[in-house]
Amino acid sequence: MLKEFKRFLLRGNVVDLAVGVVVGAAFGTVVTALVSDLLTPFIAAIIKVPDFSGFYFTINGSKFMIGHLINAVISFILAAAAIFFFVVKPINILVERSHREPSADSVIKKCKECLSDIPIEAKRCSYCAQVVK
């Protein structure tokens, strides 16, 4: 039973998940710092209101703290924008560059004997067995 438990813990997906959770938590701290220390003050400098938490309205003696909601929505939008523009977009560009397929001209050549398409690295035509230079 102990051996089986050890195999379970050392399986790739369990270890990958643990690493993902730890890196995700650290990354969440970075995104929070980016939003709270850079983006939120930048917005506050533009609209001259650093914090909306003081905004509220009252109905029948009940106080509705609409400012906290506004702060949360702004923080969410800024965090989503930061993740998209600083993480998702650059990663997508890198993945796209790495998955580009070479052009068809650089991958194939024509056999002079039978005119079939063969790989550029081929030394012999797979269709007619002619030696290809």
Average pLDDT over residues 85-96: 89
pLDDT for the residue numbered 109: 87
Identify the CATH assignment for 2-100 out of 1.10.3720.10, 1.10.1200.120, 1.20.120.80, 2.40.40.20.
1.10.1200.120
For the chain, the domains span: 2-100, 102-133
- Inform me whether the pLDDT recorded for 123 exceeds 80: yes
Q: State the helix-helix crossing angle for 12-34 and 2-10, rounded to 10 degrees.
A: 40
Q: DSSP strand E in the chain: where?
A: 57-59, 62-64, 108-110, 117-119
pLDDT for the residue numbered 105: 55
Whether the Cβ atoms of residue 123 and residue 132 lie closer than 8 Å to each other: yes
**Cα maximum dimension of the chain:** 93
pLDDT tens-digit series, residues 27-80: 888 888 888 888 878 877 888 877 788 889 999 999 998 988 888 888 888 888
The HSE-up count of residue 67 (CA atoms within 13 Å, CB side) is 12
Percent of the residues in the chain that have a pLDDT greater than 70, as a whole number: 95
Tokens of 105: 């001209």
